[in-house]
Structure formats: C-alpha cells, structure tokens
Structure 1
Amino acid sequence: MTDKGKVNGRQKELYYKKGYWTARTLLDCWNDAVVRFGDREYIADDRGFRYTYRALDEKSGRLAAYLLSAGICPGDAVSFQIPVWSEFVIITVACLKIGAIANPLSPSFQAEELSEIFDRVGTRAYFCPTAYKGVDYTVLARQMYSRHPGIRAVIQVEETQGTAAAGYPTLRKIVDVPQNMDTLRGAGPVGSESVAAVICTSGTAGAKKCAMLTHNNLIFCEQGFNRAVGVTPEDIMFMPAPLYHATGFAHGVLATMLAGAGLVLEKKFSADDAVGLINRERCTYSMGTTTFVYDILKYLQSTRKQMPTLRLFMCGGAPVPSYLVREASEYGIRLCECYGSTESIPHTLIRPAEWSAEIKPSAGRPIDGIEVRIIGRDGRDAADGTEGEEWSRGPNVFVGYMNDPAATEKVLDDEGWFHSGDICTRDPEGNIRVVGRMKDVIIRGGVNLNANSLNENVLRCPAVRDSAVIGMPDPRLGERICAFVVPSDPAKPVTLQMLTDFLRKSNVSKYAWPERVENIDAIPMTESGKIKKYLLAQELARRTGRDSHGQMQARSSNDAG
C-alpha cells in the first residue's frame, strides 16, 4: 500500500493506453460543466433550494476559499454528515476545488463510529447539521473536536433558515459572504490518480471499511454508466437514496454533473412525496434499491396516479424480482437491474435499450472496459450457469481501504481483481445473475442453501409483508433455516404452520422450508436499503437464549421439531 493505494502496474499502463484513465480530474470535469451548462439547473431539493451549475460553482468556491483559509490542504480528508440536502453537493464540489478528499458519512453515525472513521481517514474538517431527527449535532461536534486535535474546522448546516448553530460557523453564512477567491490559486495541483473520495461500506455485516476511489476511478465509472444508460443533458434524475452511499454520491452527484443533467433530492423518502416531486420536477430517471421502487409502485396502484415523465429506474443492492419489472412496465417505467459495490461501483447493468418486461432476470453485462470472472470453489473459472464468487477488474475498481492494508489484501489481489464475496452465475451472453453473498449461504446438514432464494419463497406468502431469511445455529445440523417476517396484518402474527402450509401448496420443496419463524415490526435495513442480517442474528440469539457456541438454551413453540 502507498498513499495512492494498490494498483497493478500492467493494468494501469493498459488503462492509460486505452484512454480509460487520463490526466483529467473531477475538478476539470466540473469546470467544463460550468462553462457548457452554467445556466442549466443542476440541483433542486425538496426544502426549496435550487442551484444552476454556475450558482453552485459560486457557492462552492466561497466554501473552498474558507476551507483553505482554515488550513485545509490538498489531500486532507473532509468528513461530512449531511442528509439528502443540496448542501451535500456544495461541500463535495468545494472539496474538488481544493483537492481535498471527500468523506461523506451517514447522519446516523454517533461518536464512537465517527471517531473510528476520523482516525482511519485523518479528518481535518467536519461538517454536520445543527440538528436532525432529534439529534443535537452541536454536542456531537464538540465531542469530535475535543477527541481529534487534527480537526481544523467544524462547520454546521442548518436545515431551515435561522436555526441556531450554537457556536460553530454555519455553511449558509460562509457561502453567502464573498470570500477572497485568490486563495484558490494556492490550492496546489491534484492528479487524476489522487484519491477523490473515501466512502464507507454499508456495514451489513456490522463492520465499516473506508474505500478509496480516485478521480480516474470515478470519472471512468460514471462516464461509462452514463453511456450505457443513455443519460443526456436533458435528463433529470430523482435521487431517493442517501448521498453518502456509492449510489447517491457517484451515480447521483457525479454522474449527473458529468452529463450536464439535473438532480432532484428528497431529504427523507416517502412514496407519496416522491411521486409528487417526480411529477413537479419532471424527472426522467431514478436509481435506488428495490425498496424505493416497491413503495412507489404500491402507492401508484393504490391511488391510480401516474408518473408520465419517469421512463427509467436503475435498481441495485439486491436481485430484482420479475414481477416488479412487469409491474413497473405497466407505468411506462423500465426497471433495469445493475450490480456492483462500493469497491467496484456498479459495473454490470441491463441496458435500457435492451430491456423488455419479460427479460430474463439478471444484472446485465459489464460496462465496457470492465472484466468479470466467476470463480468456483476449486479456484478456477466456473462454467456458464455454475455458481461461484464474482471477481471484477477494471478502471473503476477502488485502490484499497484507507490505512487498512490487511483488509485490502483480503479482497484486492496483486493482478487487480476485486473479490466481491458475492455468489453469481453468468450465462453464455455474459449476463451476471446475483445469487447472494457467500455469507448468505446456510449450510444445513452439509447442504448449501442460498438464503436469498429461500426468502423469495417466503415473500410470496400473502400473510407476509416483508421478510429476511438467516441461518440459525443448530448443534446437530450446523444450521437451520429461520425466517424473520413482518406480517401483512399486524394483528395476525405469522406462524410456522401458516408459512409451511403455503409453501406446501406452492410446491416448494421441503428442504427450502423455514424451520423457525420470528415475527418482527420491521426488517432492519441500512439507509441504502440493504438488510442488516447481523442484527437479525443478534436478535435471534437474544430471543432464543443461545450461548456463545450457538447452543440453544430455550426452544420456541414456533420451531419445527
């Protein structure tokens, strides 16, 4: 590992030779966008803030000058806990202007999580709200400032005009006051191989790692994404996903900027508000997990409303059910699956031009310039249709986890292949289908069962509104199948008998039946819509009284015998 991360030399030479990587930085791209699309609206949020490319350039320039005057230098990490607000974009562009590393973070992170990340990335400036969702961030900011002496600036963002900042400068005051823009000339050069952003992984397994993405990584990926999807300057994207995640940050903030398109932000997703916002702003496409599109479709079905301008929804984070594709098509929406991760930002997708309502389920083919392999248990390339771990290599692949070489070595090999940990198959046309995580395999009596496939059966039960299947430790079989379910009718809990009766009538093989059912109010999700299975495992241990070796100290009447 070096300051620039881990990059295979032969691959680097190839990327430059083919023009995948160039000397251009994201700041170069931003400056071009301001020249070409200056008066075109770039950002609008549902709090009433709107900015053209030129207006946002002015605001972010003032913030960049302020940060330089506070001692923030090129290569310094700027950490920001900002909701889906337009200020997030102002901070991001300000980072580009001074060559700082953007480190967007979930607003839900508290002191211990933040301290771990701040130590890892070496945070020099910290942005947070004054208050959000009942949390007083001023108290949190004071904690961070006292714990981390390397922090040179703390800036707070008001959700509404006039909110008290309690002692720290506010972003609104900074960007509304002219700054000495000459200071920007002293920012120093930043190369295209420099780290542009450090994005924390979603944490579905409870662990957080800080993935480094360079200017080259992000420009290649988002330009390739735009070409494959067909994004033009006339498009307007609706973004319901959190901006601190790769979906919102790269495919939302950066991809629209690279295309000269517009971006509409919803601070807290709700289907009814989303439909209203999409229609008012005449949004043409969107992206997020199935959770968002599922809720929107259910709302449209119950209200008989339409979204005539929305033609495309790119869907990632989990396999997209075929029934959802068909339902979306009834509203004129092409629901296209894509696949990737923070480390290898979505690199396969269904091209909208090749979509049909009856398309075979898959996450599509790789973006041009990206290689994909499916590796079997024997360490060799698996035959088409055979399950194996998905590996990817290309100009989009991250350069390592910041200050964590051991974690980097586990997933990024010396030849530049990122080992995803996802179980996938590939068909003869090169389409990838995601089966699940390697950790999602339930090994019952020596037989490997995919938890996601089992869960698809559970979700079809009318008594179940939402569900997640996990492995339950068992002293005899190793693991049994446990389904956490959210009942369709809260007054009628789902029983194991109800579920197995449904599966029997649906001709689901008995080996795929859950052996325990646990009712729960809601399936715990990350803010990007992925299931936190580690929390379900903890909850199961609490309910069953399981000891540290997985031995069951108590049995429920909802167990199979």
Structure 2
Amino acid sequence: MITDLKINDERKNLYYEQGYWTEQTLGDIWLEQAARFPDQEYVSDDQGSRFTYREVDDRASRLAAWLVEQGVRPGDVVSFQLPTWAEFCIVYVAALKTGAVMHPVPRKYNDADLIYDMNLVSTKAFICPTKVAKIDFEEQILSILESIPSLGPVALVDKAAPKHSDLPTIDEICARYEPLVERPAITSDDVTCILSTSGTTGKPKAVLFTHNNLIFSEKSFVAGAERTRDDVMFMASPLNHATGFFHGLISPMLLGGRTVLQQDFRPAKALEIMNTERCTWSMGATPFIYDMLKCIELGEGPRLETLKVFICGGAPVPSSLVQCAFQHGVLLCECYGSTESCPHILVPPSECMEWNGAWSGVALPGIETRIVDANRMDVPLGEQGEEISRGPHQFVGYLNEPERTARALDDDGWFYSGDLGFMDARGRIRINGRKKEIIIRGGENICANEIDDDLIGCPGLDETATIGMPDERLGERICTFAVPSDERRPTVADVTAYLAEKHVAKRLWPERMEYIDAIPKTATGKVKRHELADELARRMQAEQCL
C-alpha cells in the first residue's frame, strides 16, 4: 500500500466537513452506477466494441477474480498499455474491484520506457494488446519480463490480432472465471491511480491520486462544464492522460452517461462518429477542434449535428477559433490545468461567447486559485505572476520523491504550476506564459532539456538549445538551435536519423534546425530561451517576406 501522502490533517478534515470528500471509493460508485443503469450503454469505440454498465461490470469482475488468484492485493499496481478502446474500461474497473492502483501507460511507450516506468511504480500485473498496426505489444512485453522484478501476471487483449504466446487473453479469462464478489479492504483516502508525467525533468514522475481526489475532481469538472446524464462524450485522446481517462471515462460514469471512443483521431471520421452516436460534448487539445472545423469548411467531412460543447486544453484558444466553432453550433471553452491539478480552471459554456477567448477560465467549484510573485505573495489584480491552485482534486505527491513533492506542493496544499498568468476581480484567469522549460506540442508536454541531452554526441553539432516553435495547429513544434561543430550543419533528416539509431522516441525529434554562433546564456549559465524565441520569430518573419 502506498503511504506517506502529502495532505495535512487540517485540509483533510475540512474537505470531509464540507462534503467534498466522503468514505465512498471509486469502486463503490461504480457498483452503484452499474446497479442503477445496468442496461445503459457505458462505452463504445470505433473498432466495434460496445458495452453496457452490466457487461463492463461482469467482465471486470471475472478479470478481477483472475488478478486476485494471481496474487494481486489491495495497493498493488496494475499497469496497462492500451489504445483508446472500450476494453480499457474493463481493465480499470477490474483494478478497482481488487483494490489495486490503476497505472495506465502511454500506448507509444517502447521497451525502454516501460522498463523505467514499471520499475518506478513496482508494477505487479500488466495488460496490453497483442498487436496494433505495426507495433507488436505482446512481443515487446515478453522481451522485457526479466527487467521488471516486481512483475507477475500478464494478460492480453487480442482485439486486433491473435496472440502468439501462452499468455492468457481477457476473453479466455472471462470464460474461465466466476465474478469476484468480495469488496477490497481499502478506503477512499488510499491511492487509486498513478499517472506518469514528464513535466520539465524528462524522466516520468509518478503522480498519485486517491479515490477522493478523482471523485471530487470529476464531479467538479462536470458541474463546471454544465453537463448532465443526457450528454454523450466523444473522446479520441489517449486514455493514459487525465483528459482521456478522467474526463473521457470517469466523468460520464459519475453522471450515469455514456462515452464514445475513437482509436486514432481522424477529423472526417470523428465528425461521422459524433453525428452517428449523437455526441453532445468532447474534450481534447486544440488540434482536434481545429482539424474538425477545417475539415468541415473544406467540404471533406459532414457538418456537426449534435455536438454542443468542446472543451479545449493544452494551449490558449484564440477568439477567432471560438467564433469559428460558434458558427458551426459549438461552444469552444478553454480549460487549464496539469496532471497534478488536472483542469481546475474552465470557461463555463454559458460564458463562452461573452469571454470570447480572452480568458483561460475561472476556478471550478470547490477549488481555489491565486496569482503570486517570486516570494509566493499575492500580486495585485491584473498583474502577472505564477498561477497556483488548491483543492480536494489535487494530487497527493510524487511516488517516492518527497523533495520534488515539497517543491511543487506546499504544506498548506497549494500547488505551484510554474505557469504565468493574471487574474481579474471576477476570479477569471488568463494563462499567458510559463516558467517551465517545456514545449506543449498538440497538448503534450515535451521536455526541452531531454531533447538537448539526447542530441549530445550528434555528428556536426556542438551545443544545442531546444525551444517551442509557434504552430497554428499544434500550438508549438520542436525547434533546436545548434552551434555547429564543423561545416556540415546537419539537416533535420540527419538529426532524426541519429536519434532513431539511439532508440529515442519520435515525439522527441526536432522538427526544425536553426544554427547560431553561440547559445545565449545568463551569467549563471542558464539558456536565455526567450532570446532564442525572439530570434526564431525574426527568422520566420523573414521567410514570409521572401
């Protein structure tokens, strides 16, 4: 069982007194919803799977029985690496039924990523597909079993391809085992989920959430988003993120509603799915809605018939995009947050058009926000500072990293985001910059320092400094400034070929190379990335004038 969580007794007692936290676990709420809406469809995907609440509950109970027989106990970590499939729900509910800690990992993780991440959290059991597209997940996990000492049982989802080993599939398990009926010996203050986030350090941090954190977070989210049980969620984001998992699956479950998944986002197909399934709301990074609206305007996809609200995170939303969405009948509402304090600021749909892209949002119900200076003192309204937040939704620490936890989360429960913004008298916040050296590409945080570390030793490059390059669709792309070591000046293709040979994940490959005589730095040796951003802007402007 994971212990040493960072939540002081005063805040904990306050959240219970205010009714924000209760003694119900997420598993308890699942059982209630499955009993109330057994024949209501809970989840479907574009790969042909559909499950009611009763069907998910039955399959999850059988999978849980197998996990328990294999030695999984309350507090053990169950990791799962799945695409955006309906079967994800069977796996996460099975983990709840055993009292295990859910640990969804990115579909794009390779063998090295999995070894690091699963050893970080001491994974007890693992579930993945057989094969999807060109990736053989079954072979990948078989090749690294000996590198993860804590790992015990492994199971497969053979939705896309038959298995080629003796590992059991979920279908085989469900056919052999009776449903588990015993309740796990856990409390609502226990950790129920670990999400991995790279943040600014490159290597993943294991972010811890209790049952109370997630239940409050998603109840507050649906209240702020003004959603009801009649709404149908469309979700194409990866399910290992807070967006896909918490907002795409848990929020609809708390409402007793349903969600529709798309394995790989394709705008024209997404439009068709939303119309066919009568989806009314969705959430994703800016490129999702940008691509769908562009698809409609180019006549490459159908017009939206039922979608009313799209919640957009990962980058500021310009007023022009808000207006464009409205012309197609959609309220485009910006939200802001992080894995640790997952979207806690949101533009209410009822305020969307009045605010018109000028604000990132206002704090969701029960959550506090402030803007502070370098000494952590409040700044005057309208003045820029660091955004911090506090509330019952907040993570309770990074696994086994008390020092890092202490830097991000103070003793009074305030989480320091590292992002810059300002607040007005109505509590509205505009996020307009960040202190962290990260690139937000399509809603994904990418560590600039990690890219520079990977480029050490690249032929033709001496020193490098990577920054975000403005991009209309993705928000930012990856641009690396480099001091050449000779006359070669490697191209993007040269650099990415080098990184591919080093087995560096494609998401960390530069998309533009710029050469410079020297990397600008402060007196203490820190890279002046703002100067590089200014230089890049000048060069891009010059290109447009040619």
Shorter-chain TM-score range:
0.7 to 0.9
Query: 1:276, 1:131 → 2: CA distance?
Result: 26
Please report how far the alpha carbon of residue 357 of structure 1 lies from its aligned counterpart in structure 2 after TM superposition. 6.1
CA contact (8 A) 2:157 2:170 kept: yes
The equivalent residue for 1:135 is 135
CA contact (8 A) 1:364 1:433 kept: yes
CA contact (8 A) 2:2 2:190 kept: no
Q: How does 1:406-417 map to 2 (within 5 A)?
A: 406-417=403-414
Query: 1:486, 1:380 → 2: CA distance?
Result: 34
The equivalent residue for 2:167 is 168
Shift in CA distance, 2/257, structure 1 to aligned 2, threshold 3 Å: closer
Letter paired with 1:216: N
1:266 aligns with 2:262: yes
The equivalent residue for 2:435 is 438
Query: 2:124, 2:102 → 1: CA distance?
Result: 11
TM-score by length of 2: 0.82
SS at match of 2:395: coil
Query: 1:370, 1:432 → 2: CA distance?
Result: 13
CA contact (8 A) 2:491 2:513 kept: no
The equivalent residue for 2:107 is 107
**Residues paired across the two proteins, number:** 486
* 1:430-488 superposed Cα distances (whole Å, 9 cap, x missing partner): 011111221359xxxxxxxxx99xx9xxxxxxxxxxxx9x99x9xxxxx9997747799
The equivalent residue for 2:351 is 354
Please report how far the alpha carbon of residue 378 of structure 1 lies from its aligned counterpart in structure 2 after TM superposition. 3.9
Structure 2 regions of 5+ residues with no counterpart? 453-463, 474-489, 497-504, 529-534
Runs of 4+ in structure 1 off by over 3 angstroms are 202-205, 479-488, 518-521, 532-541, 543-551, 555-560
Letter paired with 2:92: T
Q: How does 1:7-86 map to 2 (within 5 A)?
A: 7-86=7-86
Query: 1:435, 1:51 → 2: CA distance?
Result: 42
CA contact (8 A) 1:204 1:533 kept: no
CA contact (8 A) 1:392 1:419 kept: yes
Query: 1:149, 1:205 → 2: CA distance?
Result: 25
Letter paired with 1:355: C
1:328 aligns with 2:307: no
Structure 1 regions of 5+ residues with no counterpart? 442-450, 456-467, 474-478, 489-517, 525-531
The equivalent residue for 2:212 is 216
The equivalent residue for 2:246 is 250
Query: 2:198, 2:411 → 1: CA distance?
Result: 25
SS at match of 1:356: helix
The equivalent residue for 1:179 is 177
Query: 1:383, 1:519 → 2: CA distance?
Result: 47
Query: 2:212, 2:106 → 1: CA distance?
Result: 25
SS at match of 2:366: coil
Query: 1:129, 1:373 → 2: CA distance?
Result: 43
Letter paired with 1:332: G
SS at match of 2:92: helix
Please report how far the alpha carbon of residue 292 of structure 1 lies from its aligned counterpart in structure 2 after TM superposition. 0.4
Relative to structure 2, which stretch is displaced further, 150-159 or 45-54? Answer: 150-159
The equivalent residue for 1:399 is 396
Letter paired with 1:179: Y
Please report how far the alpha carbon of residue 163 of structure 1 lies from its aligned counterpart in structure 2 after TM superposition. 1.5
Relative to structure 2, which stretch is displaced further, 307-316 or 162-171? Answer: 162-171
Shift in CA distance, 520/291, structure 1 to aligned 2, threshold 3 Å: farther
Query: 2:4, 2:24 → 1: CA distance?
Result: 16
Query: 1:79, 1:121 → 2: CA distance?
Result: 9
Letter paired with 2:52: T
* 1:114-135 superposed Cα distances (whole Å, 9 cap, x missing partner): 1221122110001111112312
* 1:510-545 superposed Cα distances (whole Å, 9 cap, x missing partner): xxxxxxxx9979xx9xxxxxxx9994779648x669
* 1:269-297 superposed Cα distances (whole Å, 9 cap, x missing partner): 01011001101111000001111000000
The equivalent residue for 2:159 is 159
CA contact (8 A) 2:2 2:75 kept: no
The equivalent residue for 1:297 is 293
Query: 2:120, 2:383 → 1: CA distance?
Result: 39
Query: 1:340, 1:296 → 2: CA distance?
Result: 24
Query: 1:36, 1:362 → 2: CA distance?
Result: 39
The equivalent residue for 1:147 is 147
Letter paired with 1:236: V
Please report how far the alpha carbon of residue 195 of structure 1 lies from its aligned counterpart in structure 2 after TM superposition. 0.6
* 1:237-279 superposed Cα distances (whole Å, 9 cap, x missing partner): 0001111001111111111100011100000001011001101
Shift in CA distance, 519/13, structure 1 to aligned 2, threshold 3 Å: farther
Please report how far the alpha carbon of residue 136 of structure 1 lies from its aligned counterpart in structure 2 after TM superposition. 1.7
The share of aligned pairs that are identical, in percent, is 39
SS at match of 2:78: strand
Query: 2:406, 2:467 → 1: CA distance?
Result: 33
Query: 1:94, 1:534 → 2: CA distance?
Result: 31
Letter paired with 2:167: Y
Query: 1:53, 1:292 → 2: CA distance?
Result: 28
Query: 2:512, 2:492 → 1: CA distance?
Result: 10
CA contact (8 A) 2:200 2:436 kept: no
Query: 1:211, 1:79 → 2: CA distance?
Result: 14
TM-score by length of 1: 0.80
1:230 aligns with 2:226: yes
The equivalent residue for 2:277 is 281
Query: 2:141, 2:465 → 1: CA distance?
Result: 45
Query: 2:67, 2:383 → 1: CA distance?
Result: 52
CA contact (8 A) 1:233 1:260 kept: yes
CA contact (8 A) 1:77 1:121 kept: yes
1:241 aligns with 2:240: no
Q: CA RMSD in A?
A: 3.5
The equivalent residue for 1:444 is none
1:373 to 342, 366, 370: 370
Query: 1:246, 1:60 → 2: CA distance?
Result: 21
Shift in CA distance, 351/482, structure 1 to aligned 2, threshold 3 Å: closer
Letter paired with 1:238: F
CA contact (8 A) 2:492 2:511 kept: no
The equivalent residue for 2:480 is none
Relative to structure 2, which stretch is displaced further, 127-136 or 209-218? Answer: 127-136
Query: 2:198, 2:213 → 1: CA distance?
Result: 19
Please report how far the alpha carbon of residue 362 of structure 1 lies from its aligned counterpart in structure 2 after TM superposition. 1.1
The equivalent residue for 1:311 is 308
The equivalent residue for 2:483 is none
